[in-house]
Amino acid sequence: MASHLIVFGGAGEVGGNKIFLEDDDLRLWLDFGTSFSRHRAFFNEFLRPRSARGLWDLLALGLLPPIYGLYREDLAWPDLWERFAGISIILSRDPRPASDAVLITHAHLDHMGDITFLDPAIPLVMTPMTAAVVRAMQVTGGSGFMYEWCYLTQRVWDERSGTLRAEKQGPYRGRRFNLLADSIPPELQEWWQHPPGRTKQLSTPPLGKFSGSVGNRRVCWWPVDHSIPGAVTFAVETQAGWVAYTGDLRFHGRQKAASEKLQEDWRRMEIAVLLCEGTRLGERKSMHVTEEQVFDNALKLTRHAEGRLVIADFATRNLERLQTFLEVARQTGRCLVIQPRDAYLLEAAARVSSAFHEIYQDSRICLRNDPKVRLDLWEQDLQERWTNRMVEPSEISKDPGGYLLCCGLLDMNDLLDLDPASLEGALYLYANSKAYDEEQAVDLERLRQWVRHLGMRMEGDPDDPHARPLHASGHAGEDELAAFVRAVRPRMLVPVHTEEPKQWEEILRGTSIGLRIPELGQQIPIG
């Protein structure tokens, strides 16, 4: 059987990567992410897929490829697949599962969000750090079948009502995780086996070690520079040669040396097919803001705000940016006050990495006391562990110049608990990306309204051409990608994770590199 690829997500769009590789008897997925753009076409905060209908809404709207045998059986009601007769793709085997493994590059939802729907018997391959981040995301995030990446609540079919309902009595069922590591950190293994709540047990396989192959095909991986820790890229040995997949990468963060090594290694491997991201294609002659520049600018601005409160707004799970602001806090004599989700994620990372363990133990990091009528169990346990590192609003109000507070749009109403005088003239450092769609633009304007109303001053506004940059992208620029692909010299380039795939026609002009622009669901021969 000839080797081929099918791009079920990530073709002509940024994110949602779902790339299927078949090579003789090998059936492998490269990421299994959520397409935000296609989801937003149908759903919003208040209109969501119905849990009582399982897979139906997502399959009917084309948000999941109709592949029989790939998904959780408990999310399929009795005649669901009969509705897709004639269009469903049969990949199932006897016995299940229908796929050998899913290789996950990193813990961003557009690369792993839809693993929640997969048959839990399918092995998920990722780094220990990515596994830790994904578990922290599930524990602290939303509940329901859309967020069951590590463990799941079994659903049962109710014939009377014609709906799926959650099984309340049975244990949580865990998925199979094979980690890219020589050994599994004991702290991570212990935490992994611990039930996430107090009312149900957890039945999950222990974390395993990835053998370095799927079936009889070698799989190699490399750490890369990205805005989330634990990111890797993969190459799979097939009959046609090496098929390489970048995931997301860049060359201007703390781990830029890793991406440079990847480039050199792939240049020597004679890659047959390169699946390459292109988020920033079309941003010609763009200035690359590095994380070092973000630190320098944030440090200068914070020093000029002596005696006043400074607020740092950056993306959830961007632990690199948290490190940046911790260093700013150190050099300006402030305490870094983080949100509960940040603290839980930092604890998870500390179970894997000694570097993050040192950050976790830093005395300058404090936890904001989150006033709620009812705390989730993870928040109750977190506050017990951080009881001596909790900061009350009254403490910040008394000494605003002693704190650097991590905060975002969803935390704005918590600022109302501070003395208004402590907010007047406070510095709001927007260290996030620009708005990429109408919904994000509305949120950014809403944030500006909060900042103005509370008497603060924003720096780093992405729409202000004179603002000092406070955000470094998680993706390589066009010139960096062009140099990377020319250096690797694959026989064929398949652009994914980009809205501008045809930009490669100009970039590759004069080279011998073939270009194949994918279409969703289209088979691409590679043999």
481-504 pLDDT per residue, tens: 999 999 999 999 999 999 999 999
pLDDT of 97 over the 90 cut: no
Q: What is the mean pLDDT of residues 101-119?
A: 98
Per-residue pLDDT band at 436 (split at 50, 70, 90): confident
The full set of domains in the chain, from first to last, is: 4-282+476-525 (3.60.15.10), 291-369+377-459 (3.40.50.10710)
Those residues with Cβ within 8 angstroms of residue 9's Cβ, 6 or more apart along the chain or in another chain = 15, 16, 17, 18, 19, 33, 35, 65, 520
Q: In the prediction, which pLDDT does 94 show? A: 56
Cis peptide bond N-terminal to 95, omega within 30: yes
Q: What is the mean pLDDT of residues 388-403?
A: 96
pTM over 0.85: yes
Q: What is the mean pLDDT of residues 294-318?
A: 96
* pLDDT tens profile 217-239: 999 999 999 999 999 999 999 99
pLDDT of 42 over the 70 cut: yes
d(CA 311, CA 326): 12
Q: What is the mean pLDDT of residues 507-521?
A: 96
| φ and ψ of 396, to 5 deg | -65, -40
d(CA 513, CA 507): 10
* pLDDT tens profile 152-211: 999 999 999 999 999 988 999 999 999 999 999 999 999 999 999 888 999 999 999 999
Measure the CA dihedral 44/46/48/52, to 10°: 180
